[in-house]
Amino acid sequence: MKLLLMARFTFREALHKRVVHGVLGLTVAFLLLYGLLVWLAFRQIGSAGPAAMISLQFTLLGMNAVSGIGALLAVFLSVGTISSEVEAGTLHAIVPKPLTRRDVLWGKWLGFATMLSIYVFLLSLAVSGTVAFFTGEWSVQIVPAALLLVLQSLILLSLSILGTTFLPTVANGVAVFGLYSVALMSGFMEQLGSMIRNDAMVTVGIAVSLLVPSDAMGKLSASLLQDGRSYLERVGPFMVNSQPSAWMVVYSLIYVAVLLMLALRIFSRRDL
């Protein structure tokens, strides 16, 4: 099937991209720094007292970083995959071959999605594993929490794929990061609104998160990790007060599917 051929090719091509080499370098640096921080913290407190709280906070911090790096990778991988290849003429040799534009577009998405999923999932395990190395305990919910971060990065990937079918590369980058930031802001607004019991803020936050559900997946992931922990353990910069509904996962999956249909519609009609 030509869609899988494009997906495999896209995956192989991504391995040759500088942005991937850069992100891998960044990942190594991040893991070293993260390991150092966790080590310093646990060296001081040992396994006494607030160890459970510290390990939760470190896991949340690490997962927050995974979410950020995942978003970065999702956008930089795909930001110009159609627009720049139209400009360079690379697509002019591929599209006339016996395959459909759906094979080209969705194949690219699938290639990037595979890479992102592997990366985000493994990095999440690395974060949890680092904490487990010092405490001897893995976060119970790390696998579903990691999968939610994978979904978050796929949401951003799909937005970026949609954008690149009609926007020039730089404009698309600005647009997707803009939407990502709006989602972050709205998530913050929802949490703050819930803390000070301001319903209007919560409503606006939820409304925006329907527009771009990426941050909702991040919050859902963090709230899974905090599940069943006491208030004292949870309190901190990553505490989730207003937990997004589990239906948001279903919504996000439909959201990704709709973005991909829309992107295909635009790409199919576009003159290359």
Partner 1 sequence: MMGVGEMGSLQGDLAIEMVHLRKEFGRKVALEDLSLTVPRGEIFGFLGPNGAGKTTSIKVLMGLVRATSGEARLLGLPPQDPRAKERIGFLPELFRFHEWLTAEQFLDFHGQLYGMPPEKRRRRIPEVLELVGLRSEGKNQLHTFSKGMQQRIGLAQAILNDPDVVLLDEPTSALDPLGRRDVRDLMRYLKDEGRTVFLNSHLLSEIELVCDRVAIIDHGRVIATGGLHELLAASMEIEVEAEGVTPAAMEELRARSQSVEEENGRLVVRLREREAIPPIAEILLKHGCKLYSLCQRRSSLEDLFIRVVEQEESR
Binding site for partner 1 (CB under 8 A): 2, 5, 9, 13, 16, 88-90, 92-99, 269, 271-272
In the complex, minimum distance from the CB of residue 62 to partner 1, in angstroms, rounded to a whole number: 33
E strand or H helix that includes residue 107: helix 101-135
In the complex, minimum distance from the CB of residue 13 to partner 1, in angstroms, rounded to a whole number: 6
In the complex, minimum distance from the CB of residue 218 to partner 1, in angstroms, rounded to a whole number: 34
Nearer to partner 1, 28 or 93 (CB): 93
In the complex, minimum distance from the CB of residue 272 to partner 1, in angstroms, rounded to a whole number: 4
| Whether the Cβ atoms of residue 101 and residue 271 lie closer than 8 Å to each other | no
| Whether the Cβ atoms of residue 209 and residue 192 lie closer than 8 Å to each other | no
Nearer to partner 1, 16 or 197 (CB): 16
Give the separation between CA 122 and CA 134, rounded to whole angstroms: 19
Nearer to partner 1, 94 or 126 (CB): 94
Give the separation between CA 101 and CA 116, rounded to whole angstroms: 22
* 3-state class (DSSP) for residue 118: helix
In the structure encoding, which two tokens stand for residue 18, read together? Answer: 């500088």
In the complex, minimum distance from the CB of residue 153 to partner 1, in angstroms, rounded to a whole number: 24
Nearer to partner 1, 91 or 131 (CB): 91
Residue count of the chain, please give it: 272
Nearer to partner 1, 114 or 194 (CB): 114
> CB-based burial of residue 192 (10 Å sphere; 0-12 exposed, 13-18 middle, 19+ buried)?
middle
In the structure encoding, which two tokens stand for residue 60, read together? Answer: 């949340």
